[in-house]
């Protein structure tokens, strides 16, 4: 006989397991108010507690998604992109007699990575605007021009038009009219008072996730946010960080944690702020407790226990954290995103008088880019030191201590 568990007692979340199941994995059937039918899928967990946590998390996510006008069955961006790509292959030219190959490539190059795991009906004007803002700071060879971004947006419009025509989405999202950021180069970040408020509330936000089965995800996100804000790493750099990439170095300023990261400017060393090593130490201790052994050197630092891979995104956790801390996501400089943590790091270091030359090396960018986006912070006194700080700020590194948490 099949095992069934009504998690809430109202039929909205029902776990079930086949009596003849070889692996004993629970499946879940969800009924979301405001939607038709049920959502059924595997929890990929054989332990009841883990399966319940998975189901509760998913229910909460889908409840708010449907409430805000979303669909239960909308595909993720990556899956919709694959379908669009196959459909494009059957055509010879675009409406303007251009090459579909170029159109596909303009979406595949950056938007596919940015939106990969996002459900297609969750992408609106705000998300497109955030993507455009993100693109100005994320590129492979040189910063995008307004014309190149217009071509990318044209390709994205074609993608969403296809989804509308095939009935995948009710209507294509709106696109921002203004793509030129020259009028406002400043990036949305946090004031010091806002950051102190976040610091006071982060632990409580993590604890509040426990009844929802989200404690581990929030705990990881907590350390992730603090790591970005104390290193200036890019999102992709942190996501790909492995335990083997971390080492401690004895400097004139004491023991400091170093991360060897692969960024868009190549491989570089990233120095953690003094005391910031505790954030990854917490993750190390958590993983050591889960494994009852030391984490594997090649294992991701920000590991999703659910997938065994790095977390693909902390966007939802970031939005949840801001709401809990009563910090508005919207500013006069645009929407705050996880990248705002990198901008906060840069702003604080410049206020402290760190040389833009050294800061550009730490962040894997150029002095010119720092001056472009943070010129309002760089005082004339600091700017005068750009060309002569190397000798003044050198640290004498001694013997490396590899894999620092064993």
Task: Determine contact, residues 232/270, Cβ cutoff 8 Å.
Answer: yes
Nearest 5 degrees, angle CA 272-CA 278-CA 284?
110
Residue 282 sits at the vertex; the CA angle it makes with 276 and 288, to the nearest 5 degrees, is 140
DSSP 249-306: EEETTEEEEEEEEEETTEEEEEEPPTTTHHHHHHHHHHHHHHHTSPPPTTSBSSB-TT
| pLDDT the model gives residue 24 | 87
Res 84: pLDDT: 94
- Asked if the model's pLDDT at residue 364 lies above 50, the reply is yes
- Local structure of 8: helix, strand or coil: coil
Let me know how long the chain is: 406
What is the pLDDT averaged over residues 343-357? 89
Helix, strand, or coil (residue 62): helix
49 by Cβ neighbours in 10 Å (0-12 / 13-18 / 19+) ranks as exposed
Distance, in Å, from the CA atom of 256 to the CA atom of 236, rounded to the nearest integer, reads: 22
Per the rule left: phi > 0, alpha: psi between -120 and 50, beta: everything else, 400 is beta
At 171-205, the pLDDT tens digits run: 888 888 777 654 445 678 898 899 999 999 999 99
d(CA 140, CA 137): 10
Give the per-residue SS3 of 297-330. CCCECCECCCCCCECCCCHHHHHHHHHHCCCCCE
How many other CB atoms sit within 10 Å of the CB of residue 105? 12
356-372 mean pLDDT: 85
Rg of the chain (C-alpha set): 23
pLDDT of residue 384: 45
Prediction pTM value: 0.57
Which one has a higher pLDDT value, 366 or 77?
Answer: 77
- Please determine, for residue 391, whether its predicted confidence score (pLDDT) is greater than 70: no
Please check the confidence at residue 65 and state whether its pLDDT lies above 90: no
Residue 343 in this model has a pLDDT that exceeds 60: yes
What is the assigned CATH class of domain 192-402?
mainly alpha
pLDDT over 60 (residue 273) = yes
* Matching residue, tokens 């050197």: 297
Instruction: For residue 119, give the nearest of 64, 170, 71, 157 by alpha carbon.
Output: 71
Percent of the chain with pLDDT over 70: 87
Q: With bands split at pLDDT 50, 70 and 90, how would you rate the model's confidence at 356?
A: confident
Give 96 or 74, the one with higher predicted confidence: 74
Rounded distance, CA 163 to CA 155, Å? 13
- Split at pLDDT 50, 70, 90, the class of 396 is very low
Q: What local confidence, expressed as pLDDT, does residue 180 receive?
A: 61
In the predicted model, what is the mean pLDDT of residues 245-264? Answer: 87
What stretch of H or E contains 217?
helix 215-231
* DSSP conformation class of 99: B
Where are the alpha helices (H) located in 68-107, listed in sequence order?
Answer: 77-89, 100-106
pLDDT of residue 387: 36
pLDDT band at 406 (very low <50, low <70, confident <90, very high): low
Confidence of residue 369 (pLDDT cuts 50, 70, 90): confident
Domain boundaries, the chain: 3-67, 77-165, 192-402
Residue 271 has pLDDT above 80, yes or no: yes
Q: Are 15 and 7 in contact (CB under 8 A)?
A: yes
C-alpha angle 328-331-332 in degrees, rounded to nearest 5: 155
Band of pLDDT at residue 94, cut at 50, 70 and 90: low
Q: Which two tokens stand for residue 61?
A: 């996510």
Q: Which residue has the tokens 């720092």?
A: 370
Q: In this predicted structure, what is the pLDDT of residue 392?
A: 43
User: Mean pLDDT over residues 21-26, rounded?
Assistant: 84
346 in Cβ contact with 363 (< 8 Å): yes
Instruction: Mention every residue, 6+ apart, whose C-beta is less than 8 A from residue 377.
Output: 347, 350, 351
Span 358-384, mean pLDDT? 71
Structural tokens at position 374: 């943070």
Stretch among 97-106, 323-332, 335-344 having the lowest mean pLDDT: 97-106
**99 vs 315, residue with greater confidence:** 315
Q: Are 269 and 281 in contact (CB under 8 A)?
A: no
Contact between residue 333 and residue 376 where contact means Cβ atoms under 8 Å apart: no
- pLDDT in the model for residue 215: 93
State both tokens at 122. Answer: 């969750």
pLDDT at 238: 93
Q: Which segment of 58-67, 173-182, 247-256, 347-356 scores lowest on mean pLDDT?
A: 173-182
User: Do residues 225 and 329 make contact, with C-beta atoms less than 8 angstroms apart?
Assistant: no
**223 CB-contact burial (10 Å; exposed 0-12 / middle 13-18 / buried 19+):** buried
């Amino acid at each position: 006989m099949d095992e069934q568990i009504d998690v809430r007692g109202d039929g909205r979340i029902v776990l079930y397991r086949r009596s003849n199941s070889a692996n004993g994995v629970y499946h879940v059937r969800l009924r979301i108010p405001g939607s038709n039918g049920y959502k059924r899928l595997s929890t990929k967990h054989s332990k009841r507690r883990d399966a319940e946590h998975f189901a509760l998390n998913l229910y909460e996510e889908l409840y708010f998604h449907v409430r805000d006008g979303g669909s239960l069955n909308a595909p993720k961006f990556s899956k919709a992109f694959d379908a669009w790509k196959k459909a494009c292959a059957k055509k010879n030219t675009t409406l303007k007699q251009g090459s579909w190959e170029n159109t596909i490539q303009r979406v595949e190059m950056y938007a596919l990575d940015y939106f990969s795991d996002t459900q297609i009906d969750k992408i609106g004007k705000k998300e497109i605007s955030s993507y455009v803002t993100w693109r100005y700071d994320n590129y492979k060879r040189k910063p995008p021009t307004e014309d190149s971004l217009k071509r990318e947006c044209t390709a994205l419009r074609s993608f969403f038009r296809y989804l509308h025509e095939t009935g995948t989405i009710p209507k294509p999202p709106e696109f921002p009219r203004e793509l030129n950021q020259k009028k406002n180069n400043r990036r949305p970040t946090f004031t010091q008072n806002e950051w102190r408020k976040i610091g006071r509330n982060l632990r409580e936000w993590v604890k509040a996730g426990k009844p929802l089965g989200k404690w581990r995800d929030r705990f990881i996100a907590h350390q992730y946010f603090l790591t970005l804000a104390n290193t200036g790493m890019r999102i992709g750099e942190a996501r790909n960080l492995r335990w083997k990439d971390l080492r401690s170095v004895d400097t004139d300023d004491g023991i400091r944690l170093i991360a060897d990261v692969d960024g868009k400017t190549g491989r570089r060393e990233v120095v953690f702020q003094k005391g910031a090593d505790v954030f990854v130490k917490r993750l190390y201790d958590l993983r050591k407790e889960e494994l009852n052994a030391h984490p594997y050197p090649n294992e991701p630092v920000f590991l999703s226990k659910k997938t065994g891979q790095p977390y693909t995104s902390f966007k939802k956790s970031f939005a949840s954290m801001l709401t809990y801390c009563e910090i508005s996501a919207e500013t006069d400089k645009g929407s705050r995103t996880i990248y705002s943590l990198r901008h906060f790091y840069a702003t604080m270091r410049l206020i402290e008088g760190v040389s833009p030359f050294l800061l550009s090396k730490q962040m894997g960018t150029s002095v010119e880019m720092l001056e472009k986006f943070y010129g309002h912070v760089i005082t004339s006194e600091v700017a005068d030191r750009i060309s002569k700080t190397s000798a003044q700020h050198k640290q004498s590194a001694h013997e490396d201590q590899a894999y620092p948490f064993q």
